[in-house]
Amino acid sequence: MVSRRAVLGLGIGGAATLLAGVSADLVIGRSSETVLPHFPHARPGPLLSGSFYSRARRRRVGWTISYPPGHAPGDALPVCVVLHGYDSDHRYPFTTLDLQAAQAQLVNGKPLAPVVLASIDGGDTYRHRRRDGDDPIAMILDEYLPMLAERHLETHKIAALG
C-alpha cells in the first residue's frame, strides 16, 4: 500500500511537468483573470468514463480517464491523478479546463513521455477523512488506483495535479 505522504510527494514532479507545459500557453489578462489555454492543433486521445460504488466515500462516484494521442485503453502508461476543485466533479478537468487538449499538445511531436490523466469525484471539501466516514483519499488509494492498475496502467508511482 502506498502512503498518503508518498502520493503527495510523488505527485509534485508530474504536476510540475504538466503545469510547465501548460503555463507556457497561459495568458494572464490585465484584470488578473486567467484565460484558459487554447490548443488548436492538438488531437486528444480517447476519454473513458464510468462510475462505481465507493466504500470509502459511501456513495457512487464518477471517474474519467484521458489517454494521450496514439494510446488507448489497455496500454501500460504512467498516471497523473487530477483532483478537481470545489463544486465540480470528475468531468470538470476535461469539459471545462480541456486538460486532454493540453495533454495532447504536450506529447504531440515533443519528447515528453505520454501520461494518462485520471480524475475521480472527490467531494466539495478537502480530501481527508470526515467525521461522517467519507474518506476521498482512501477511495483514491484503495479503490481508484487498484482499478487503474486492473486497466494495465502504471500505479506504482503516480503524479497528482489539482
pLDDT in tens, 86-113: 778 888 888 888 889 888 888 766 767 8
Q: What is the pLDDT of residue 135?
A: 87
Cell matching residue 48: 473513458
pLDDT, position 40: 57
Averaged over 77-87, what is the pLDDT? 89
Over residues 16-43, the pLDDT tens digits come to 444 444 433 333 333 344 555 555 566 7
Q: How far apart are CA 93 and CA 118, in angstroms?
A: 9
All structural domains of the chain with their residue ranges? 4-161
Q: Give the integer Cα–Cα distance in Å for 136 and 127.
A: 5
Distance CA 146, CA 97 (A): 26
Whether the CB-CB separation of 37 and 102 falls below 8 Å is answered with: yes
Q: pLDDT category, 8, cuts 50, 70, 90?
A: very low
Residue 81: its pLDDT value, please?
94
Confidence of residue 48 (pLDDT cuts 50, 70, 90): very high
Angle between helix 99-107 and helix 4-23 axes, rounded to 10 deg: 70
The residue assigned the cell 489517454 is 67
Is the pLDDT assigned to residue 61 strictly greater than 70? yes
What is the mean pLDDT of the segment spanning 122-147?
Answer: 83
Tell whether the model's pLDDT for residue 143 goes beyond 60: yes
- What is d(CA 10, CA 56) in angstroms, rounded to the nearest whole number? 22
* Residue 145 CB contacts under 8 Å (≥ 6 apart), including other chains: 2, 79, 81, 155, 158
What is the predicted pLDDT for the residue at 96?
87
Fold held by 4-161: Rossmann fold (3.40.50)
pTM above threshold 0.85: no
Question: What pLDDT is attached to residue 92?
Answer: 87
